[in-house]
Amino acid sequence: MAAAHQLAFPMVMVNDADCKHLFDNRYGTGQSVWDGINRTTNLIVAGKNAVVAGYGWCGKGVAMRAKALGAKVIVTEIDPIKAIEAHMDGFEVMPMNQAALTGDFFITVTGCSHVINLEHMKKMKNGAILCNAGHFDVEIDMAGLRAASLSSIDQRKNIIGYEVRPGSFIYVLGEGRLVNLACGDGHPAEIMDMSFAVQAMSALYLVQHKDSLTDKLIPVPREVDQKIARRKLASLGLSIDVLTPNQEEYLHSSAI
Amino acid sequence: MAAAHQLAFPMVMVNDADCKHLFDNRYGTGQSVWDGINRTTNLIVAGKNAVVAGYGWCGKGVAMRAKALGAKVIVTEIDPIKAIEAHMDGFEVMPMNQAALTGDFFITVTGCSHVINLEHMKKMKNGAILCNAGHFDVEIDMAGLRAASLSSIDQRKNIIGYEVRPGSFIYVLGEGRLVNLACGDGHPAEIMDMSFAVQAMSALYLVQHKDSLTDKLIPVPREVDQKIARRKLASLGLSIDVLTPNQEEYLHSSAI
Amino acid sequence: MAAAHQLAFPMVMVNDADCKHLFDNRYGTGQSVWDGINRTTNLIVAGKNAVVAGYGWCGKGVAMRAKALGAKVIVTEIDPIKAIEAHMDGFEVMPMNQAALTGDFFITVTGCSHVINLEHMKKMKNGAILCNAGHFDVEIDMAGLRAASLSSIDQRKNIIGYEVRPGSFIYVLGEGRLVNLACGDGHPAEIMDMSFAVQAMSALYLVQHKDSLTDKLIPVPREVDQKIARRKLASLGLSIDVLTPNQEEYLHSSAI
Amino acid sequence: MAAAHQLAFPMVMVNDADCKHLFDNRYGTGQSVWDGINRTTNLIVAGKNAVVAGYGWCGKGVAMRAKALGAKVIVTEIDPIKAIEAHMDGFEVMPMNQAALTGDFFITVTGCSHVINLEHMKKMKNGAILCNAGHFDVEIDMAGLRAASLSSIDQRKNIIGYEVRPGSFIYVLGEGRLVNLACGDGHPAEIMDMSFAVQAMSALYLVQHKDSLTDKLIPVPREVDQKIARRKLASLGLSIDVLTPNQEEYLHSSAI
């Protein structure tokens, strides 16, 4: 809408604030996704192959916790830079077409549609577990799966099995909706505080600067991000260093 | 009883089998304890201080997963060797008396009684979470706590708060019973298979060798442990190397 | 110079390219700093307190590898957002004034001056090891240390001990110059390939677009970063997913 | 010799002491092997496939640090229990015959001979790095390699390349001798203190008990192991909990 000049008022891109994506997306999603999977499946994660589709901040969190639980992690990506990051973080990187063959758990965190499509699902091992922690229930092609499966079974609370080949079932958690919400309690309140602060402080900023702002997308001002972080630190009882005048001068000199 | 020559039949020490304690205790308890804590509290673990009392196989599992979730881990021990192991694994080591002051989560996995006593509990931070994953509900002195607390509150399912100082509450999960059972679904079945196999195969061993066994404690025979492990590997689809005759000879030579 | 309109030609900010800081700074510095420390000191890292000053990409790499080697990591920062990141990554966060008391290893990676000053050094434990992996040999106040120490000793190759209190020595590696260069072989060539590619491709970009560029600082164009990453992936033998036309359409729709 | 009743005096099995294998083997070997590899090759470890042959205490240390440096770890074993441990620790488990195809680094830590044989080496990727951290230079079949290679090249200090297929070279560090000794400074003194204490205290024990000991192999007495550990803790400035009389009584009761 912004690109088409259709915004009727200034908007702050709160999802891009450091105090949002560096914390809520990574530590919140990372923990709550596996909380949702574990309490729903009661399967052991150690020794399994966990396929994480998408290596953005959420995907980084999900992959980090998968590894931490003892899984071997496979990352799929469309962005070459994120793919190399995943590789350097010690994860296998491959297309979903190939990952589909070996995954025990599949978690989509891309924001895109049909990241796991019918072709992928037909290849999966009997017993594979699928879930989504991205935007909506479109990351896994649920409609295609429902239409093409030979049978389905209500296996356990929040787990439906779909027969994708004769005698072979794959299991979808929470109907492909966000697994941490559908199969858990969502993010811990403690990790949402910074995200909500970004929204509140950004609204305040809009009001305070309404005369000088135009109907455009604006990033969360650095000062807002910093103020929220300083308050969070204080609430955690943590103090940090402060630049001395000499250090300020050094940093602004041409010496560096 | 064995020490007092009171055993009326031969007994196999199934809990000491490699196929039991190396797996069920470590990976089973490690995952299921945090599953129980997370689904019950919905608190973020990253950045918190997790105090693990006991660094046996269960404690190692609980500490490993605490670190994996982003906690700073403090280990308390009575055994100096295990204490140095914890230190070398990158954990803080200190007496409970001191750990009580900084812990956010406390998990007892010792098999002993009153590992967390009233003196410890009175020192804890407002909001500290306590739970037990050891033998029974005696590791935390629940009777002492109930008697001495100024008030108590049913905070949330499976969480009771006890006012240990005026206005300061500590929260006990599952009444101090095993948190993975009381507040979760216990160990995943997949990790219990080896433990149950140890029991079944040990019973079979007793029957098959009943004529030659005396009324003593016997360790799980190495051949039983190995047989179970080989079947588990096969079920996982894994194959491993086999010694060649030359290697067998080398290992039995005096060269090494 | 750019801020003062003193640039005489267009300049590309190669150090800010994703293909530079996400890889060379993090994985290159992370490994090579500890390689330099280990080969120079031959001390065990497990169980030690490692203080990392600065939690930028280099600091993240150094802290990640310190933890991986079994150290307990303390991070000092001036930026509140990075400080919370370090906290959530499971590290202690505190001012250098406090960290000075407990650190066994100190590594500065800030780009600033006198991050470790004389006041800090006088507090340190006997036997503390100091080194720098930031820009220059100003991060540790070497001049102040040399002037104020009671004596100094050439302890071992690349290690000089300074007596900061009677009988108490702290040890500086490589005279406070970059420890991976002064005490090691620098970054592995494999991790520098992307950094050098950024420089080469940016130079090419400048030549190809010389008519349209003004004498300003320009970021590395996204297309250059992506092209380098794709070539790197190919050299690693890795392939990744590609958006389908339907997915492209979905991502540009107003549905998300 | 003990099995053949050929011992002429009592011998203590110092290598089996907890204060030896739990520390020196794991943390000492783990760190020093990668120190040796890194300083010799100057290759990045992150993203590489590291094949660790043997998952005893040394192998666990080497694998743990390989993962910590960002490698994907493959473990080969002959013992099914250790193989499942490796699997549950999140590592790939497969025979060497298969691992040979994908490894970038190979480290043998088995105590056996020809763990990597000529057949394996002929399959390896061009550029594979081989080294040994086990007992002797027999774990890699160096004689076979030298005899069968088409050519060899002195690539860099402590690195010899062998042409195993036309145009394809594999590189052996330190002639297949212990890589941490041949290509580094061996274990840090700090981690050897406990091992040496085991030897000294065991010798003292032999002298003090010479009248009651027979010419057999005896394990390191528990009291010796514990005494060493207590002194080590004290030297680290660490204190731990002590059982109360009530706890002693509980542990010896039939309640548990």
Could you report the per-residue pLDDT of D73-111, keeping only the tens digit for each? 999 999 999 999 999 999 999 999 999 999 999 999 999
Q: Chain B residue with minimal CA distance to C93? A: B47
Contact residues of B toward C, CB < 8 A: 46-47, 67, 70-72, 87-92
Residue C148: predicted pLDDT: 97
Q: Chain B residue with minimal CA distance to D239? A: B94
Could you report the per-residue pLDDT of C208-221, keeping only the tens digit for each? 999 999 888 999 99
Q: Do C71 and B90 touch (CB under 8 A)?
A: yes
With a CB cutoff of 8 Å and minimum separation 6, the contacts of B72 are: B47, B48, B49, B50, B92, C72, C90, C91, C92
Mutation to test the B interface, candidates A27, A29, A41, A42, most B Cβ within 10 Å: A42
Count chain A–chain C contacts defined by CB atoms under 8 A: 137
- For residue A191, which residues of chain B lie inside 8 Å, CB to CB? 44
Could you report the per-residue pLDDT of B4-14, keeping only the tens digit for each? 888 889 999 99
- For residue A70, which residues of chain D lie inside 8 Å, CB to CB? 88-90
Nearest to A44 among B27, B67, B70 (CB): B27
Nearest to B39 among A35, A67, A191 (CB): A35
Rounded to whole angstroms, the Cα distance separating D107 from D33 reads 9
Rg (CA), chain B: 22
Structure tokens at A163: 């027969």
Q: How far apart are the first and last CA of chain D?
A: 42
B255: pLDDT strictly greater than 70: no
Count chain A–chain D contacts defined by CB atoms under 8 A: 28
B39: pLDDT strictly greater than 70: yes
C136: pLDDT strictly greater than 90: no
Q: Given a contact as 3+ CB pairs under 8 Å, which chains touch A? A: B, C, D
Could you report the per-residue pLDDT of B175-192, keeping only the tens digit for each? 999 999 999 998 888 888
Rounded to whole angstroms, the Cα distance separating A29 from D33 reads 36
Q: Which residues pair with C171 in a beta bridge?
A: C129, C161
Nearest to A38 among B31, B190, B236 (CB): B31
With a CB cutoff of 8 Å and minimum separation 6, the contacts of C27 are: A88, C61, C191, D44, D46, D70
Q: Is A192 exposed, middle or buried (0-12, 13-18, 19+ CB in 10 A)?
A: middle
Q: Do B112 and D27 touch (CB under 8 A)?
A: no
Could you report the per-residue pLDDT of B118-174, keeping only the tens digit for each? 999 999 999 999 999 998 899 999 999 999 999 999 999 999 999 999 999 999 999
Q: Chain A residue with minimal CA distance to D86? A: A47
Residue B254: predicted pLDDT: 62
- For residue C67, which residues of chain B lie inside 8 Å, CB to CB? 90
Q: Do C65 and D65 touch (CB under 8 A)?
A: no
Backbone region of residue A224 per phi and psi (left: phi > 0; alpha: psi in -120 to 50; beta: other values): alpha
Could you report the per-residue pLDDT of C15-42, keeping only the tens digit for each? 899 999 899 899 999 999 999 999 999 9
Rounded to whole angstroms, the Cα distance separating D122 from D101 reads 9
For chain C, which domains are there? 16-182 (3.40.50.720)
Helix (H, G, I), strand (E, B) or coil at C33: helix
Distance, CA of D32 to chain centre: 10
Q: How far is A155 from chain C (nearest CA, A)?
A: 31
- For residue C88, which residues of chain B lie inside 8 Å, CB to CB? 46-47, 70
Q: Do C45 and D31 touch (CB under 8 A)?
A: yes
Q: Do D246 and B94 touch (CB under 8 A)?
A: no
Q: Do B45 and A31 touch (CB under 8 A)?
A: yes
Could you report the per-residue pLDDT of C177-223, keeping only the tens digit for each? 999 999 999 888 888 899 999 999 999 999 999 999 988 899 999 99
A255: pLDDT strictly greater than 60: no
Q: Are B71 and B47 in contact (CB under 8 A)?
A: yes
Helix (H, G, I), strand (E, B) or coil at D15: helix
Q: What is the pLDDT along chain D (256 residues), one digit of tens a residue?
A: 888 888 889 999 998 999 998 998 999 999 999 999 999 999 999 999 999 999 999 999 999 999 999 999 999 999 999 999 999 999 999 999 999 999 999 999 999 999 999 999 999 999 999 999 998 899 999 999 999 999 999 999 999 999 999 999 999 999 999 999 999 998 888 888 999 999 999 999 999 999 999 888 999 999 999 999 999 999 999 999 999 999 999 998 865 5
Q: Is A11 exposed, middle or buried (0-12, 13-18, 19+ CB in 10 A)?
A: middle
Distance, CA of C236 to chain centre: 25
- For residue B67, which residues of chain C lie inside 8 Å, CB to CB? 90
C147: pLDDT strictly greater than 90: yes
Structure tokens at D102: 């994908």
- For residue C31, which residues of chain D lie inside 8 Å, CB to CB? 38, 44-46, 69-70
Place of tokens 């592995």: C188
Residue C1: predicted pLDDT: 80
Q: Do A188 and B28 touch (CB under 8 A)?
A: no
Q: How far is C243 from chain A (nearest CA, A)?
A: 7
- For residue D83, which residues of chain A lie inside 8 Å, CB to CB? none
Q: Chain C residue with minimal CA distance to A243? A: C78
Q: Do A88 and D70 touch (CB under 8 A)?
A: yes
Nearest to A185 among B42, B184, B191 (CB): B42
Q: Do D240 and B80 touch (CB under 8 A)?
A: yes
Nearest to C44 among D39, D184, D190 (CB): D190
Could you report the per-residue pLDDT of B42-95, keeping only the tens digit for each? 999 999 999 999 999 999 999 999 999 999 999 999 999 999 999 999 999 999
Mean pLDDT confidence for A220-224? 93
Q: Do A47 and B189 touch (CB under 8 A)?
A: no
Q: Chain C residue with minimal CA distance to D30? A: C69
Residue C254: predicted pLDDT: 61
Residues of chain B with pLDDT > 90: what percent? 86
Residues in chain D: 256
- For residue C236, which residues of chain D lie inside 8 Å, CB to CB? 47
Number of H helices, E strands in chain C: 11, 10
Nearest to D39 among C28, C35, C67 (CB): C35
Nearest to B240 among D26, D83, D242 (CB): D83
- For residue A88, which residues of chain D lie inside 8 Å, CB to CB? 46-47, 70
Residues in chain C: 256
Residue A191: predicted pLDDT: 84
Q: Do A39 and B190 touch (CB under 8 A)?
A: no
- For residue A226, which residues of chain C lie inside 8 Å, CB to CB? 79-81
Q: How far is D156 from chain B (nearest CA, A)?
A: 31
Rg (CA), chain A: 22
Q: Do D112 and B243 touch (CB under 8 A)?
A: yes
